[in-house]
Amino acid sequence: MNHFQYQGDQLFAEDVAVKDIVASVGSPVYIYSRATLVRHFKAMDDAFATLPHTICYSVKANSNLAVLRTFINLGGGVDIVSGGELYRALQAGADPAQIVYSGVGKRDDEIEYALHTGILMFNVESEQELERIDVIAGRLGKRAGIAIRVNPDVDPETHPYITTGLKKAKFGINIERALEQYGRAKEMANLEILGVDCHIGSQLTKVSPFVDAIRKLKRLISGVREMGIDLKYLDLGGGLGIQYHDEDPPLPSDYGTSITEETQDLGLHLIFEPGRNLVGNAGILVGTCLYTKRGEEKNFVIVDAGMNDLARPALYGSFHGVQAVQKNQDGVVTADIVGPICESGDFLAKDREVPNFKVGDLVAFMSAGAYGFTMSSNYNSRPRVAEVMVSGDRFEIVREREQVEDLVRGEKIPSFLN
């Protein structure tokens, strides 16, 4: 469910016509619906109402401050994977005691920053990282809360680029070695073992892989407790999928029922790290048709948004629904929708039946709230687009459109070239 619907022949974001936003802000533009963000957060939060839990939004999915503040105001924490995301979370008003820090490549300065901030815990992804955190915490005179990210070798049956729980993945410590690492952590003076962490992948459309992972984790938890370690948290990551096209992912309530049944006897505070599930269908990217081109073998709709603005189709072959901002009666055409980037891989829809767009028409790419702007770049020296949030009948720019001057900010020509 989202709040991007037609009223008559016009696409609206909540109670605001999308064409009015573009007229005010320009094109391309990302548009987020606050009501959709709230609805999705509450659906996930309510799914675990019977258990102690914290919803720690995964910042990497969409790191805009307005998005973060929306979830923080609802009582959410955050899951971060960099020092930059920690800075963003704090700027948005996050409680450090509700921040968990994941990621395989934490630098020393990032670990120090997190320790000074007083985050809840690090999700430790390797044996060397465990040692590094202990050393840095000791140097700073602090104790670092940690959970070990366990790789349970469960196939999430999703795209290989977003599969994280198999033995061959770079993430986490293999479950067969995890107990040994808990034993090592117990002997480290500057660590406080708080929990067990697991994240098996993204865009999962079945509950069964989550259940399989939990059953493996329960055996590990039993072993850790036998070592005399008092665990407080079980972090189950995120990964619940959304509908982009014809997927049929489980509802948060169904997911919650299955997870609750498997974990209610553990006596642990659950942490969840949803990202895509909260923001994916809460955002769209709107572009303008610049040209149409009839080829001998293909038709093309050329728009002002490209792979630098929305990388997922080029990166994963991902599907985003395409809708006309203003419905027309000109039928449909099979075409590629492509952008201005000088790459053959620059497409937003490929071999698709889409509205028969004309020059100047506005084109909405749906379900673009997750991994849209946050993965965008300045490739081909294109300024990044504006972001807008809608609430009811109001909208505000929540990130200004970059200007060409921003492209060279921080650069300089060295003296030996003058």
Any binding-site annotation on 247? no
Tell me if 196 sits within 8 A of 217, measured CB to CB: yes
239 annotated among ligand-binding-site residues? yes
Rounded Cα distance between 98 and 219, Å, is 27
Which structure tokens are listed for 180?
Answer: 């040994």
Burial classification of residue 271, based on how many CB atoms lie within 10 Å of its CB (0-12 exposed, 13-18 middle, 19 or more buried): buried
| Catalytic site positions | 342
- CA–CA separation, 243 vs 1, rounded Å? 9
244 in a known ligand binding site: no
276 assigned ligand-binding residue: yes
Task: Judge contact between 182 and 230, C-beta under 8 A.
Answer: no
Residue 402, C-beta contacts closer than 8 angstroms, at least 6 positions apart: 378, 383, 384, 385
Is 225 annotated in a binding site? The answer is no
* Cα 273 to Cα 262: distance, rounded to the nearest angstrom: 18
Rounded to a whole number of angstroms, the distance between the first and last alpha carbons of the chain is 58
Question: Residue 31 is inside which H or E element, if any?
Answer: strand 29-33
DSSP labels, 354-387: EE---TT-EEEE-S-SSSSGGG---TTT-PPPEE
Structure tokens, 6: 């037609």
Pairing of strands 332-338, 299-303: parallel
Facing residues of 204 across strands? 240
Asked if residue 312 belongs to a known ligand binding site, the reply is yes
Half-sphere CA count of 342, side-chain side, radius 13 A: 5
Among the listed residues 240, 242, 224, 241, the one whose alpha carbon sits nearest the alpha carbon of residue 232: 224
- Cβ burial, residue 197 (10 Å; 0-12/13-18/19+): buried
Cis peptide bond prior to 28, omega within 30° of 0: yes
How far apart, in whole angstroms, are the C-alpha atoms of residue 178 and residue 326? 55
Q: State how far the Cα of 110 lies from the Cα of 388, in Å rounded to an integer.
A: 30
Q: Was 274 annotated as part of a binding site?
A: yes
156 is in an annotated binding site: no
Q: Where is the binding site for substrate, in residues?
A: 276, 312, 316, 343, 371
Q: Where is the binding site, in residues?
A: 239, 273-276, 312, 316, 343, 371
Q: Where is the binding site for pyridoxal 5'-phosphate, in residues?
A: 239, 273-276, 371
